[in-house]
A and B are shown apart, each in its own frame.
Chain A
Amino acid sequence: MTIPAAWYLIVSALLFGIGATGVLVRRNALVMFMCIELMLNAANLALVTFARVLHDVGGQATVFFVLVVAAAEVTVGLGIVVAIFRKRHSAIVDDLHELQG
């Protein structure tokens, strides 16, 4: 109830860093998507924390919309992964070098 906002914001920053590391390091498109979800959740945690300490329900409403956008993003993103897999038989992003000169 009375945990300082700073503690949650540090957890949120660390979670965002781990997610960003995953996007940069991993090569599997599906795992990269999961890491993007981690970063979205870090933002959600920060928004809920701000909503609590500033007594403003607008932060929670924003989290609600982020959830909707995340669901839409995952649907389209996984559709793209399936379409690419049909053509290339691989979900590893390094294998997608058709535009290489």
Chain B
Amino acid sequence: MTGVLATARTVPDVLVFIASAAIILGGAVGVVASKNPVHSALNLIATLIGIALAFVEQQANFLAAVQIIVYAGAIVILFLFVIMFLGVDRNESIRLEPLSGQRPLAVGAVAVVTGGLIALMAAGGWYSGATSVIAPTDPSNDVGALGKVIFTSYLFAFEATALLLIIAVVGAVLLARRPPASLDAVPRADEHAVAAGEELT
């Protein structure tokens, strides 16, 4: 399969690519432009499903399934849960610009950086380097190839993610826990301290 750029494309491939790119970019614009955070989260699901489509198209079937299950199924649900839990689903005043001129400046800077990135990649021939350094991909058995490499070459990283997940769980529990002082008989003192702090600012 050398010379990937030179081989012929079939019409369905191009159609699937165009559909996935439209879903990805449309959803991303929706995330940024929606006033309501709930709409942003729903647009994020569209983007994630588009990414999963692009993964399937590139023979990363296992990652596409994980993308749907972990991202769309767990992370976005967590986002929606927090949005509903906090009750922040009211509209943000998106027209208001706290820093005058910051918004066009940000868009301009990002446009320059993204354009430069694409130009650099085009100038560099898009990709280079040795092929099949860790292990070759296997389009017919991508789960097997991925599992073999995760439990051999990437074993240390895999164990580190286990540690990371434990730290994340403990950290989330600690952060979300109410301070024990508010359950005691002295919740007032805590509130007064906060109020005094607000007056000082």
Binding site for B on A (CB under 8 A): 1-11, 13-22, 24-28, 30-31, 33-35, 37-38, 41, 44-45, 48-58, 60-61, 63-65, 67-76, 78-83, 85-87, 91-92, 94, 97-98, 100
Can you name 10 extra interface pairs (CB under 8 A) apart from A8-B58, A15-B24, A21-B107? A3-B13, A3-B57, A5-B127, A6-B5, A7-B21, A28-B88, A31-B31, A51-B137, A53-B4, A82-B85
- Interfacial residues of chain B within 109-149, with CB under 8 A of chain A in the complex: 109-111, 113-114, 117-118, 121-122, 126-127, 129-138, 142, 145-146, 149
**Chain B, 158-201, contact with A by CB distance < 8 Å: what is the 0/1 string?**
10010011011101101110100000000000000010010001
Residue of A nearest to B1 (CB): A55
Interface size of B in residues (CB-CB distance below 8 Å) = 97
- Interfacial residues of chain B within 42-99, with CB under 8 A of chain A in the complex: 44, 47-48, 51, 54-55, 57-60, 62-63, 66-67, 70-71, 74-75, 78-79, 82-83, 85-86, 88, 92, 98
Contacts of B138 in A (CB 8 A): 57
For A22, A34, A100, the residue with the greatest tally of chain B CB atoms inside 10 Å of its CB is A34
Complex-state Cα separation, A78 to B67, whole angstroms: 20
> Taking A17-B113, A65-B154 as contacts, is the C-beta distance between A56 and B131 under 8 angstroms?
yes
- A30-B66 in contact (CB<8A): no
Residue of A nearest to B34 (CB): A31
Q: Binding site of A, secondary structure by majority: helix, strand, loop or mixed?
A: helix
Complex-state Cα separation, A18 to B4, whole angstroms: 28
Q: How far is the CB of B48 from chain A (nearest CB, A)?
A: 7
Contacts of B47 in A (CB 8 A): 15, 38, 41
- B28-A18 in contact (CB<8A): yes
Q: Binding site of B, secondary structure by majority: helix, strand, loop or mixed?
A: helix
Total A-B pairs, Cβ < 8 A? 262
List 7 A–B pairs whose Cβ atoms lie within 8 Å, in order of A's numbering.
Answer: A18-B31, A51-B58, A56-B136, A63-B60, A65-B157, A67-B66, A82-B86
Q: How far is the CB of B33 from chain A (nearest CB, A)?
A: 9
Contacts of A1 in B (CB 8 A): 10, 13, 57, 59
Q: How far is the CB of A35 from chain B (nearest CB, A)?
A: 6
Contacts of A6 in B (CB 8 A): 5, 121-122, 126
- B31-A65 in contact (CB<8A): no
